[in-house]
Structure 1
Amino acid sequence: MKYIDINSKPVVDSTPITLVIGKFDGIHKGHQELIKVARDYRDGLLSVMSFSEHPLWVLREDPEYISSLTPLKTKLDILQTHGVEQYFNVHFTKEFSDLTAEEFVDIYLNGLNIRRIVIGEDFHFGKMRSWDTDDLISLYMQRGIAVTVIPLVKEKGEKISSSSIRSLVKQGEMETVSNLYGRPYAINGKVIHGKALGRTLGYPTINLGGDADLYVPPNPGIYLGTAEILGEGIDAGRYNALISAGYRPTVNGQSYSIEAYLLDYSGDLYDRMVSLEFLKYVRDEIKFTDLDQLITQMKLDEVYARDYFG
C-alpha cells in the first residue's frame, strides 16, 4: 500500500483515485461498506484519507481517546486486506480543527486527481463541522466529480459506530464487538519479560508489550481467545488461549497488563510479535486470599476453555 503522510502543506498528485474519507477507527462493518462501494466504483487507485489522532484527544485531551481500536499500523494492515491501495494520513491538530471547509478542500483535496468521492451520510467537515454531504456534492458537481453517499449501516436498528464499539470493548462484550466488526477484537504486541509467576504456578503466560498499550483496553477480566504468533518460524500460527487483562489483584498488581496462556503450546516467544483475539468474556478479575485458590480457579478456567474450543 502506498502511504502518504500529510501535515499542513497542499497535496499534489496527478494519479487518478477513488477517495474514501473518514476516521476509520476500528474499520467496522460501516467502514467496510464504504470501501466495498468505492471498490465497485473504482476508477484509479482505491484510496482512503483518514486522521492520525482522535479529535477528542486533540481538542479535549480526553484520556479515553488517547488509545485506538485500530492503531495506525493495524489500520493499514486491515485496509489493505479490503483492497485499499493508497492511504493519506492527515495529522489532526488544533490548527487543523480551525480550518474552514473551503480551506480543507483547498489544502487536502484540490491537488488530487479525484474521480469519485465516497462518504457516509453522517459525514461533516470544516470548523464546527460546518459542511455536510450536500455541500460536498454541490461543490464537486460543478467539477464533474461524483460524490457517492452511503447510508448508515445499522445493527438491530442502531448505527454501528466506533464510539459504541469502544464502550463495548470496555464492557468486555467481545461477542457483540465481533459481530459489529465481522472479525474478533485483536491487540497486537511484542512478547516481553514479566515476573514469570504463571510459569511458577504451572501456567506459563506471554506478556504483551510494545504497541499493546495503544489499543482500547478491554474490561479487566479473563477471556477466551486465540493467539496468533506472527512472522516466520516453525511455531508461527494460531493457538487457542486464555487471556487475562487487568491488574492482577491477587499479587497486588499496580498497572494494567495483558497476558495469555496458550493451550497446547510450549516454547520461548520473547520478542516475538503476537496478535491476541478476544472471543468471549469468561469472568471478572478476583482477588484470591492465596495462590492455591488462584491455581484452583486457573484449572477451572482451563477446563472451561478446552470445552469451549472442543
Structure 2
Amino acid sequence: MEWIEVVDEFPQSADAMVLCVGQFDGMHIGHQGLLDIAKQYITDEILTVLRFSQQMDRPVQGGEATQSLLTPRAEQERLFNQFGVNRLYEVSDVGACTKQSAAALFAEQLTRLNIKRLVVSEGTSFAHDVDITVQTLVDLCAKLDVPITVVPQAKVNGRLVTSACIREHLQAGRVEAAQALLGRPYQITGTIVHGAALGRQLGFPTANFDDVDEYVMVAPGIYVSLVEIHGVNGQKSEYWYALTNAGYRPTVNGQSYLIEAYLLDFTGDLYDKRLSVSFLHRLRDEIKFVGLDPLIEQMHKDTAMAKARLGIEGHA
C-alpha cells in the first residue's frame, strides 16, 4: 500500500480512484463495512483512503495528547493492506496545506485527484477546528460532479460502533465486547525485554512487553490470550495460548503498568523478539496476595481455568 503524507498540496494523480474519507483508527466493523461498500464501485479504480492525521484528532489536555491509539501506524498499514486499500492520503496539518478554510482546501485540492466516487460514513468526524462536515462533502461533490455515497453508521444493539466505544470496553476489561466491534481480538505488539525474572523463579516464566506505550491499555487483570511470535528472515510465525497479566503486580508492589505473558507449555528464549498478544477473555482482577505461595497457587488455578476456557484441559 502507498502511504502519502500531504503537507503542502495533494500530489497530482491521474489514477482513477474510489475515495473513502474517514479516520479509520481501529479498522472496526464500521470501517470494514465502509470499505466493502467502496469496493462495490470499483472496476479498474484503486481503493483510496483520505484522512486527517490522527495526531490532530486526538484530544489534548494541557498541551499533551491524552488518548492512545487502537492501532499504531505499523498495524494500521497491515490492516489497510489486509482490507484491500491501495493508497492512503494523510493530511498531517491543515494549516500548513493552505491559508484557506479546510472546506476550501477540499474544493481546490481534490481536483488534483481523479476521483470517480467518494464514499463516506454519515458519522465521519474530522480533525478538530476544521470546517468540514459530511454535508460539506455532499455539496462539494455536487459542484465537482463526483458521485458520493453516504453510508449509515454501523450499530450493535442500537449503539453506534465507534473507536471511542471500543476504548471504553478495553479500559473496562470488556475484551470480548471490543472484539465484537473490531471484528477480531484486540492486539498489542511489542519487543520482549528482560524483567525481574520473578515469574521464572515461581515456575511461570513470562515475556515482558516493551514499546507498547502508543496503545490503549486494557484494564488491569489476568487475561486468556493468544500470542504470536513473529517469524524473521522468512520464517513463519508461531502461535501459543497464554495467560497475560496486564497491570501493576500488586503482590510485588509494582509501580508501573506492565504487560507480561506466560505462554502455556512453551519452552524457549523470547528475549528481543517481536510478539503480539491478542486478548480473548478476562479471567479476573489483579489480586494482592500475602506472600508468594498464595500467588503460585492462584497461577496454577488460572492456568487450569484458561485451558478449560480454551477447551485444551488435559493437554500436556
Report the TM-score, using the length of structure 2 for normalisation: 0.90
Conservation of the 8 A alpha-carbon contact between 2:103 and 2:132:
no
Measured after TM superposition, the shift of residue 219 of structure 1 is: 0.3
Aligned to 1:76: 77
Give the equivalent residue in structure 2 for 1:182.
183
Deviates more, 1:184-193 or 1:9-18: 9-18
The alpha-carbon distance between structure 1 residues 98 and 270, as it changes in their structure 2 partners (threshold 3 A), is farther
Flag the 1:6–1:101 CA change in 2: closer, same or farther, 3 A: closer
Match of 2:8 in 1: 8
Query: Could you tell me whether the CA contact under 8 Å between 1:3 and 1:88 is conserved in 2?
Result: yes
**Same amino acid, percent of matched pairs:** 39
Distance in 2 between residues matched to 1:77 and 1:107, nearest whole Å: 31
Structure 2 partner of 1:205: 206
C-alpha distance in 1 between matches for 2:302 and 2:93: 43
| SS at structure 2 position matched to 1:175 | helix
> Which position in structure 1 is the counterpart of 2:89?
88
Check if 1:57 corresponds to 2:59: yes
Aligned-residue CA RMSD (Å): 2.3
1:134 correspondence with 2:141: no
Equivalent residues in 2 for 1:163-182 (5 A)? 163-182=164-183
Which AA in structure 2 matches 1:190?
Answer: T
Judged with a 3 Å threshold, the aligned counterparts in structure 2 of structure 1 residues 220 and 118 are, in CA distance, closer, same or farther, namely: same
Does structure 1 residue 19 correspond to structure 2 residue 2?
no
1:203-251, CA deviations, whole angstroms, 9 ceiling, x for partnerless residues?
Answer: 00101112x1111000011001100111238783211010110111111
Q: Distance in 1 between matches of 2:174 and 2:269?
A: 31
Aligned to 1:35: 35
Give distance in 2, aligned partners of 1:97 and 1:240: 51
Cα distance between partner residues in 2 of 1:97 and 1:192: 45
User: Which residue number in structure 2 is paired with residue 267 of structure 1?
Assistant: 268
Count of residue pairs brought into register by the alignment: 308
CA–CA separation in structure 2 for the residues paired with 1:77 and 1:148: 26
- The within-5 A match list for 1:149-298 is 149-210=150-211, 212-232=212-232, 236-298=237-299
Q: Which has the higher helix share?
A: 1
Q: What is the alpha-carbon distance in structure 2 between the residues aligned to residue 93 and residue 284 of structure 1?
A: 44
Q: Report the Cα offset of residue 12 of structure 1.
A: 2.2
* 2: CA distance, partners of 1:26 / 1:225: 19
Question: 1:107 deviation in Å?
Answer: 6.3
User: In the aligned structure 1, how far is the partner of 2:9 from the partner of 2:60?
Assistant: 20
Runs of 4+ in structure 1 displaced over 6 angstroms? 93-99
Q: Distance in 2 between matches of 1:62 and 1:164?
A: 22
TM-superposed CA distance for 1:101, in Å, is 3.3
Higher deviation after alignment, 99-108 or 268-277? 99-108
Partner SS for 1:148: strand
Change (3 A) 1:197 1:92: farther
- Structure 2 counterpart SS, 1:114: strand
Cα distance between partner residues in 1 of 2:224 and 2:248: 18
Instruction: Spell out, residue by residue over 1:6-35, the C-alpha distance to the aligned partner (whole angstroms, 9 max, x if none).
Output: 223343222221111111111111111111
The equivalent residue for 2:314 is none
Equivalent position amino acid for 1:269 in 2: L
* Whole-angstrom CA distance in 2 between matches of 1:129 and 1:277: 36
SS at match of 1:11: coil
Deviation at 1:80, TM superposition (A): 1.0
Structure 1: gaps (5+ residues): none
Give the match's secondary structure for 1:200: helix
TM-score, normalised relative to structure 1: 0.92
Is the alpha carbon distance of 1:45 and 1:226 closer, same or farther for their aligned partners in structure 2, counting shifts above 3 Å?
A: same
Task: Give 2:278's aligned amino acid.
Answer: E
Q: 1:125 to 1:200 in 2, by over 3 A?
A: closer
Give me the whole-angstrom Cα distance separating, in 2, the residues matched to 1:106 and 1:71. 30
Aligned to 1:113: 114
Q: Which runs of 5+ in 2 are unaligned?
A: 312-316
